[in-house]
Amino acid sequence: MAITNTRAVQRIETYPAADADSDATLMVVYEHTFDDSTDDALPVTSTVVKHLQRYVVTTDDDGNETSTATDVTGEAQLVQDICAAVWTD
């Protein structure tokens, strides 16, 4: 039998923008449960913490900064909904 991974949102915290030029930050805590009914050592639970910002800023070799919107499509729907609400203009 195959190992299954179940991901659940354990907690979401929002942090306000530090100043007028920044946006709110989200901290998302996911709980991953790995299970296999044929393995006595399972289930095992792991916690993953993600910090999400509205934009990701990258700098190229010449020192030019590029700001790209954070892609949250791979996050849980609840996280996507909160990002959409918090990151509105």
What is the distance between the alpha carbons of residues 53 and 39, in angstroms, rounded to a whole number?
39
- Summarised one tens digit per residue, pLDDT across range 6-30 is 999 999 999 998 887 788 899 999 9
- Summarised one tens digit per residue, pLDDT across range 36-85 is 988 888 999 999 999 999 998 899 999 999 999 999 999 999 999 999 99
N residues, the chain: 89
Domain borders along the chain are 4-86
**Which DSSP symbol is given to 73?**
T
What is the distance between the alpha carbons of residues 83 and 14, in angstroms, rounded to a whole number?
9
CA distance to 35, 38, 84, per residue, from 75 (Å) = 21, 30, 12
